[in-house]
Chain A
Amino acid sequence: MDPQSLTIAATRAAVQERRTTATALAEDFYQRIEKQDALIGAYLTLSKERALAKAAEIDALAAKGRELPPLGGVPVAIKDVMVTRGVRTTAGSKILGNYVPPYDCTAVARMESAGAVVLGKLNCDEFAMGSSNENSAWRPVRNPRDLSRVPGGSSGGSAAAVAANMAVATLGSDTGGSIRQPASFCGVVGLMPTYGRVSRYGLIAFASSLDRIGPLAKTVKDAALVLRTIAGRDPMDSSSVDVPVPDYVSELGKPVRGLKLGVPKEYFGEGLDDEVRKAVETAIQKLATLGCEIVPISLPHTKYAIPTYYIVATAEASSNLARFDGVRYGYRAGDARTLSEMYRRTRGQGFGAEVKRRIMLGAYALSAGYYDAYYLKAQKVRTLLAQDFAEAFKKVDAIVTPTSPTAAFKLGEKVDDPLAMYLADIFTVTADLVGIPGISVPCGETKERLPIGLQILGKHFDEATILQVGNAFEQN
């Protein structure tokens, strides 16, 4: 079976119709991982036992002729920031190097309940902090399209695994662009749902008011299927919202004719690579020919998004990462004579440079005398950004932009320049701050055959529309 042809529906059908078995498929994927992943580095931990047990369960169902659940037998993999019972979960950090969680992340449990076979845990930037996957404490991930380039981040492993057919679909997490940007760099689809749409229970927190779990997949339809599986209120997450979850897949085919698509001028200014601009403009043209009405709009506070993001996200991170203190689990530095020495050494040795940089930035923004000027001010700007979008969505049904200002850059190109690295998220962070959903869909390549992504942003809880637009674009 050609792995590239394996969408979720095709995989499930093959197992259902007994043209293959879930077990054979899983073995097949593990073989491919073994062959390719030494070069790519997408996987951190394989959960073979758990995968094969699930596959056997699905095969037994299929053998009895029972109807398989929506993801029955589909090999998937999980970004290593989601906890998995009995399977090592490191968040890409040395500080959790030996950590085996006693419980499952809600989204992972829902994937398995829907029949998915979880192959393993995927590499990522440490605690999801990064835009190139070079901040993984274990090893960088390489872009399957060009091994000299980064896959994007922080869900670099999640994007690379899909791009290299080492999983049919994966779960990633997005705090400032961490699903959409790597999807764009690796030429796959990446969907960030509305804040509150998918439970965060079991997602190792980076910035609680921003973090979201979402799918990376080959097609918009697959992303829709996975979202349908993981979405919905979870009593274990107070911020998950009880909004009905539509059947995204059946809404995909709705015609896009007459939909109004906003094009914000702020997203096409300085810093945007020419090839990316051309590809995105062509994509917008195509959507126009499909009957969408293209509406020029303005999101005037866009330029404040990056600084706002780096205050809110780091402030929350400084608190969220306090629990990694060497007391109860994870890495503990030896030879400390006092408690504070144990804390300092554990955290000094356990965290990587970028994580420490962000903890310090965040602690500073929250400290007495600076809180009003930084954290409080950032929250106010967040409100202004939300107003920008509320105004825009009075006029349009969705907003289209480039996902990233450039295609995938070279490994090492930006590691010594944190600010340049932060700007890789310039078109994605705003949606995180505002809480709206966004999807990145492949929209062409550069001359060097590097993928380019089209970002579609939607109204709160209106993933259906952006999936619909993405699907129409993808199918035509």
Chain B
Amino acid sequence: MATTPEISVAARAKYEPVIGLEVHVQLLTVTKIFCSCSARFGALPNTNVCPVCLGLPGALPVLNRKAVEFAVLAAMALHCRINQTSIFARKNYFYPDLPKGYQISQYDKPLAEFGAIDITSSGSQKKIGITRLHLEEDAGKSLHEGFPDSAEKTAIDLNRSGVPLIEIVSGPEIASPDEAYEYLTRMKEIILYTGVSDCNMEEGSLRCDANVSVRPRGQRQFGTKTEIKNVNSFRFIRDALEYEIVRQIAVLESGGKITQETRLYNSAEGKTYSMRSKEEAHDYRYFPEPDLLPLVVDEKSHAEIRHSLPELPEARRKRMVADYGITDYDAEVLTASKTLADEFELAAKAAKNPKRVANLVQSELMGRLKAKGLEIASSPISMKGVALSADLVESGAISGKMLKDLYDLCFERNQDFPTIYENARPQQITDPAAIEKIIDEIIATNPKQLEQYRAGKKTVIGFFVGQVMKASKGQANPQMVNELLAKKLEPNA
């Protein structure tokens, strides 16, 4: 049993960590990468299988073009350079859930290289390089529990065998567990925007291995690294890295040496354990896959895929700040998912004054969500609701005070704004006499505007409509107000 090492603040400050991340992302294709079996998660074990993904003798792989398209889309979103020709290679190793005894992957000529992700680190911007992005097939799953004879036997489910994956490898440029967390968050956000994966860590559609070493600050040469596997949330990766950095520093400070090895993270204990050392490391004997032709992404398909690339979160945030005059923070909240950002923009653009929609989100919605501890995705008021309320305020149909009351009601009853508004909507004043009375008062108290109107500046009628609606608390029938005002404002009235 490893005990949690302890190190002094001074020791910690003496070293700097160097972290590189390898992320595997499952692509949401309908079928597998080398056969036409369904790639769906959750089917009964060994039902989505065929000679190809079972690795039966004589079966051959045929590349799924959709998987290529998705991988290229992700690579473009991560600012990678797409290699026009890339080569599939066999990675040879024995494992019971690897049916062919090799994984079809890419090695020295990957699909894409030289990408980057922008992250915020301690308040400033930093670019983390992506060394490579390549396509490969997933292996099956070994099931060590859940069967009556699980104590003696391992069962194998090959439904996942052949599901398309992309592996995204960062440069050794991540300097802290927080940066690793931020890098992963940004990557997930970008990939979700492209729609090529659901990045669901529980279902294993996003998996991450971390390489970490420490070196005395100022030293250029890397220290000996360890690889951490089996981490299934971003938070755990941050924690595992933190543990591992402290462990390595403690080893070095006590005069020891770091062993190059693979370590497993145990999230329950918050510790990493040695799994295998470099001496036991595999020689994967990579060589070009003779059953597949070189993968060519020609200019035409390159352009087509580029065309289908959506606006990415970072660019979208910048544009939204400019377009709607919102804060960086709110832009971030509104772009948390592509769906939300799309909903917001659709509602805002359909509204009379898009900026007012943004304003209401910022001034009225966010605070209430925060107070209730709700994510924006589960807000009772939809973006359409916000847009409707903005229009009502804009036309003077409701006052700011009424809006606040109605928003409170929405949160209280967990109902969207249009429903609440319909129910709580104040009775309209349709009695001409009552409306005329208000109009008369307004005309009497605004002689200057009356004079302007009669001098020919007909647009001033808007001012009067607004004043009348305000005085009636939005309850006067707007059409009647317009008609009656037009009459009353004439000199002979």
**Cα of A89 to Cα of B59 in the assembled complex, Å:** 14
Residues 48 to 62 of chain B near chain A (Cβ within 8 Å): 51, 54-62
Q: With A101-B57, A103-B51, A201-B58 as known contacts, state yes or no: A323 contacts B285, CB within 8 Å.
A: no
Contact with B along A136-173 (1 / 0, CB 8 A): 00000000000000000000000000000000000000
Assess whether A408 is interfacial by the CB under 8 Å rule.
no
The distance in angstroms between the C-alpha atoms of A367 and B291, with both chains bound, is 20
B63 adjacent to chain A (CB < 8 Å): yes
B58 near A105: Cβ-Cβ < 8 Å: yes
- Residues on A with C-beta less than 8 A from B90 are 319
The CA-CA distance from A321 to B55 in the complex, in Å, is 11
Q: Are B60 and A322 in contact (CB under 8 A)?
A: no
Q: Do residues A202 and B101 form an inter-chain contact, with CB atoms below 8 A?
A: no
Given A319-B92, A319-B102: A203 and B293 interface contact (C-beta under 8 Å): no
Query: Known contacts A208-B291, A239-B291; is A319 also within 8 Å of B101 by CB?
Result: yes
Interface centre among B56, B57, B58, B62 (most CB of A within 10 A): B57
Contact with A along B124-168 (1 / 0, CB 8 A): 000000000000000000000000000000001000000000000
B96 close to A (CB within 8 Å): yes
- Main SS at interface, chain A: loop
Q: Which residue from B62, B285, B291, B293 sits with its C-beta under 8 Å from A318?
A: B285
CA–CA, A204 and B51, complex, Å: 12
Do A323 and B60 touch across chains, with their CB atoms under 8 A apart? no
Instruction: Tell me, rounded to whole Å, the shortest Cβ–Cβ distance linking A201 to chain B.
Output: 5
Complex CA gap A105/B58 in Å reads 8
Tell me the bound Cα distance from A200 to B290 in angstroms: 12
Bound complex: CA of A204 vs CA of B283, how far in Å? Answer: 25
Q: How far is the CA of A321 from the CA of B51 in the complex (A)?
A: 16
Q: A7 on the interface (CB 8 Å rule)?
A: no
Chain B, 98-138, CB within 8 A of any chain A CB = 99-102
**Contact between chains at B290 and A322 (CB < 8 Å):** no
| A322 x B57 contact (CB < 8 A) | no
Judge whether A91 and B57 touch: CB under 8 Å: yes
Residue of B nearest to A327 (CB): B96
Q: How far is the CA of A89 from the CA of B58 in the complex (A)?
A: 11
Instruction: Indicate whether A237 reaches chain B with its CB closer than 8 angstroms.
Output: yes
Q: B329 in the interface, Cβ–Cβ < 8 Å?
A: no
Whole-angstrom distance from the CB of B161 to the nearest CB of chain A? Answer: 11
Return A189 CB to nearest CB of chain B, in Å: 26
Q: Is A373 an interface residue (CB 8 A)?
A: no
Q: Which of B57, B156, B283, B286 contacts A323 (CB 8 A)?
A: B57
Interface: A267 (CB within 8 A): no
- Residues A322 and B94 in contact, CB atoms below 8 Å apart: yes
Which chain B residues border A99 with CB–CB below 8 Å?
57
Please give, as numbers and ranges, the residues of chain B lying within 8 Å of A103 by CB-CB distance: 51, 56, 59
B287 CB-CB contact with A under 8 Å? yes
Nearest B residue to A202 via CB reads B58
Min C-beta distance of A380 to chain B, whole Å = 13
Q: Give the docked Cα–Cα distance between A236 and B63 (Å).
A: 10
Whether B63 contacts A315 by the Cβ 8 Å rule is no
Contact with A along B461-486 (1 / 0, CB 8 A): 00000000000000000000000000
Q: Is A328 an interface residue (CB 8 A)?
A: yes
A interface, how many residues as a size bin? Answer: 35 or more
B403 at the interface (CB under 8 A from A): no
Known: A325-B94, A325-B101, A368-B283. A208 touches B58 (CB 8 A): no
Do residues B60 and A238 form an inter-chain contact, with CB atoms below 8 A? yes
Q: Which residues of the partner chain B approach A343 to less than 8 Å between Cβ atoms?
A: 94
Min distance, Cβ A324 to any Cβ of chain B, angstroms: 8
Contact partners of A325 in chain B: CB under 8 A: 94, 96, 101
Pair B58/A205 contact, Cβ less than 8 Å: yes
The answer to whether the Cβ of A82 comes within 8 Å of any Cβ in the partner chain is: yes
Q: A201 contacts B102, CB within 8 Å?
A: no
The answer to whether B287 and A366 touch across the interface, beta carbons within 8 angstroms, is yes
Nearest neighbor of A235 in chain B, beta-carbon distance: B62
Q: Which residue of B lies closest to A369 (CB)?
A: B283
User: B60, B99, B286, B291: which contacts A328 (Cβ < 8 A)?
Assistant: B99
Question: Is A209 an interface position by the 8 A CB rule?
Answer: yes
A339 interface hit (Cβ, 8 Å): yes
Chain A neighbourhood of B285, CB < 8 A: 318-319, 363, 366-368, 371
Q: Is A74 an interface residue (CB 8 A)?
A: no
Near A by CB (< 8 A), chain B positions 391-426 give none
Q: A102 → chain B, closest Cβ, in Å?
A: 7
Those of A363-382 within 8 Å (CB) of chain B: 363, 366-368, 371, 375
CB within 8 Å of B: which A327-352 residues: 327-329, 339, 343
Contact of B290 among A316, A328, A363, A366 (CB under 8 A): A316
Shortest A87–chain B CB gap in Å is: 13
Is the C-beta of B292 less than 8 angstroms from some C-beta in chain A?
A: yes
Taking CB atoms, residues of chain A closer than 8 Å to B292 are 238-239
Give chain B nearest CB distance to A121 CB in angstroms.
13
Let me know if A305 is at the binding interface, CB within 8 A: no
Q: Tell whether A443 is near chain B: CB-to-CB under 8 Å.
A: no
Cross-chain contact B101 with A322 (CB below 8 angstroms):
yes
Rounded to whole angstroms, the CA-CA distance of A194 and B79 in the bound complex is 42
CB distance from A240 to the nearest CB of B (A): 9
Output the least CB separation between A367 and chain B (Å).
Answer: 5
Tell whether, in the assembled complex, residue B56 and residue A102 are in contact, meaning their CB atoms are under 8 Å apart. yes
* Complex: chain A residue closest to B100, CB-CB: A323
| Residues on A with beta carbons closer than 8 Å to the beta carbon of B60 | 200-201, 236-239
**Closest CB in chain B relative to A172 CB, distance in Å:** 15
> Assuming the A-B contacts A315-B287, A329-B56, are A102 and B51 also in contact, with contact meaning beta carbons closer than 8 angstroms in the complex?
yes
Alpha-carbon gap, A322 to B99, bound state (A): 9
Within A187-237, the residues touching B (CB, 8 Å) are 200-205, 207-209, 235-237
Q: Which of B61, B92, B102, B287 has the most CB of A within 10 A?
A: B287
Q: Nearest chain B CB to A44's CB is how many angstroms away? A: 15
A25 within 8 A of B: no
What mask results when residues 296 to 309 of chain A are scored 1 for a CB within 8 Å of chain B, else 0?
00000000000000
Complex-state Cα separation, A414 to B290, whole angstroms: 31
Given A209-B290, A366-B285, CB of A204 within 8 Å of CB of B58? yes
CA gap between A235 and B63 in the complex, in Å:
11
Which of A83, A96, A205, A323 is the most central at the interface, judged by chain B CB atoms within 10 Å of its CB? A323
Q: Which residues of B are found within 8 Å of A315, using beta-carbon distances?
A: 287
**Shortest CB–CB separation between residue A37 and chain B, in angstroms?**
25
Q: Which chain A positions have C-beta within 8 A of B290? A: 207-209, 239, 316
- B62 x A83 contact (CB < 8 A): no
Docked complex Cα distance between A315 and B293 (Å): 18
Complex Cα–Cα for A105 and B59 (A) = 9
Contact status B293-A238, CB under 8 Å: yes
Distance of A101 Cα from B60 Cα, bound (Å):
15
Q: Mark B255-266, 1 if CB is under 8 A from A, else 0.
A: 000000000000
User: With a CB–CB cut-off of 8 A, which chain B residues contact A236?
Assistant: 60, 62
User: B51-82 toward A: CB 8 Å interface, digit per residue (1/0)?
Assistant: 10011111111110000000000000000000
A-B contact pairs, 13 of them (CB 8 A): A99-B57, A203-B58, A238-B62, A238-B293, A239-B290, A315-B287, A318-B285, A319-B287, A322-B100, A325-B94, A325-B96, A366-B285, A367-B283
Beyond A325-B94, A363-B285, A368-B283, 20 additional pairs, beta carbon < 8 A:
A202-B58, A202-B59, A204-B57, A207-B290, A208-B290, A236-B60, A237-B62, A315-B287, A316-B290, A318-B92, A318-B285, A319-B287, A322-B94, A325-B101, A328-B99, A328-B156, A366-B287, A367-B283, A367-B285, A371-B286
> Which B residues fall within an 8 A CB radius of A?
51, 54-63, 90, 92, 94, 96, 99-102, 156, 283, 285-287, 290-293
**Top 9 A-B pairs ranked by shortest CB distance?**
A322-B101, A208-B290, A209-B290, A366-B285, A202-B58, A204-B57, A83-B58, A368-B283, A323-B55
